[in-house]
Amino acid sequence: MPQEFKREYKNILREYTLMQNEQNLYEGQNFSKQLIQKNISPEDVISIHKASLEEIMPDLPSNVSHSFDLLIEVMIHYGLALKEHQTLIKKQENIKMEMELAANVQKTLLKTKVPHMSGLDIGMISVPAKEMNGDYAYFLSDETNLGIAVADVIGKGIPAALCMSMIKYGMDSLSGAKTEPVIVLDIINRIVEKSVSDSMFISMFYGTYDSINCEFTYASAGHEPPLFYCDKSGSFKELQAKGLLLGVVPNVKYEQHSIVLDKGDFVVMMTDGVTECRSKEGFIEQQKVMEIIESVKDEPAQVMVEYVFHKLEELQDFEQRDDFTLVIFKKM
């Protein structure tokens, strides 16, 4: 350490031991700024303090003087731990900034616009549990047909987001909303199987709605079965369709089924962030979810999805554990 620092500190200490006023403390604060600029360690500061005090007070008890040796040792290890902690904090801040940037890029690239179709009311909500969203909803539409995809990556973070870009790439390559669901899933599966790591898998449900015949045709790749609500009977049923997850093997046969929607009927498409919500007592039963949906069945579809999200959020004590995506389309 430069000798001028030692002399300056000794003078400040001498003045303080004699006068003990605010001016001395202010000088000490300014001196500390110089120490930081010169990157002088805490243990070196204590060594200066000990040496200066021994010169100012020659009769300083030896046990007091020795106590500074202990403090120096403590500060050495404290300084190392502090630097390590500060380095870790800096890395975490950098990672957070990168994640926020990646999340913004994902929102831009995977932005989904809900289409408008005569005779159909559509609502959608997708809320990530963390910065990156592992869920994705996609719409295709023309004058008489609507295609709806809901997908969920088995995984989280940036790798999951990159997988979703593969889904969008595949969906963008389709010729239109009339393409049969089994063909859509076959195309997306081949893209995912070639482009995504063997450790990443995607579940996906895809359906097309023909507004002329009021017919909904669907297929699934290992995804949560949607719920179909029949207004006439006032009951729900699952839309089951067998099919392997996307990306497992290149050649997969998917089942395809169809239903006809009457006025007031609606289909609820979702990810496991909806079906696997947990409260303190355990998983929230599907029956409870259906009751929540049915309680707002006469509301607009967008009001329905937002109400369901906030109600389930409340039941979970506002602790969202998984990405949440919900799409409802209702026959008007």
Q: What pLDDT is attached to residue 332? A: 92
Residue the block writes with tokens 């500061």: 45
Question: Of 183, 176, 229, 172, which Cα lies nearest the Cα of 206?
Answer: 183
Distances (CA, A) of 237 to 65, 225, 275, 318: 82, 9, 14, 28
**Angle at CA 249, nearest 5°, toward 248 and 250?**
130
Burial class (CB in 10 A: 0-12, 13-18, 19+), 272: middle
Residues 140-189 pLDDT 10s = 998 899 999 999 987 666 676 677 777 888 888 887 788 999 999 999 99
Q: What DSSP state is assigned to residue 187?
A: H
Residue with tokens 């602790």: 319
pLDDT digits (tens, 9 = 90+) for 283-310: 888 899 999 999 999 999 999 999 999 9
- Helical H segments across 221-300, by residue range: 272-275, 286-294
Q: Which domains, ranges and CATH numbers included, belong to the chain?
A: 3-90 (1.10.1240.30), 110-331 (3.60.40.10)
Q: Are 326 and 268 in contact (CB under 8 A)?
A: yes
3-state DSSP assignment of residue 317: coil
pLDDT in tens, 73-122: 887 877 778 788 888 888 888 877 776 766 666 666 677 889 999 899 99
**Do residues 187 and 173 lie in contact, with contact meaning Cβ atoms separated by under 8 Å?**
yes
In this structure, the strands spanning 227-230 and 215-221 are unpaired
Question: What φ, ψ does residue 50 adopt, rounded to 5°?
Answer: -65, -50
- 131 in helix, strand or coil? coil
In angstroms and rounded to an integer, the radius of gyration of the C-alpha atoms of the chain is 32
Task: Report which residue type is found at 193.
Answer: E
Across the strands, what pairs with 283?
278
Average pLDDT over residues 180-202: 86
Sign (positive or negative) of CA dihedral 107, 109, 110, 113: positive
Closest CA to 273 of 223, 202, 322: 322
Q: Which helix (H) or strand (E) holds 151?
A: strand 145-154
Q: What is the largest CA-CA distance in the chain?
A: 103
283 burial (CB, 10 Å; 0-12 / 13-18 / 19+) is: exposed
CA distances from 133 to 35, 53, 96, 274, 300 (A): 46, 60, 15, 14, 25
* Structure letter (DSSP) for residue 217: E
- Predicted confidence at residue 315, as pLDDT, reads 84
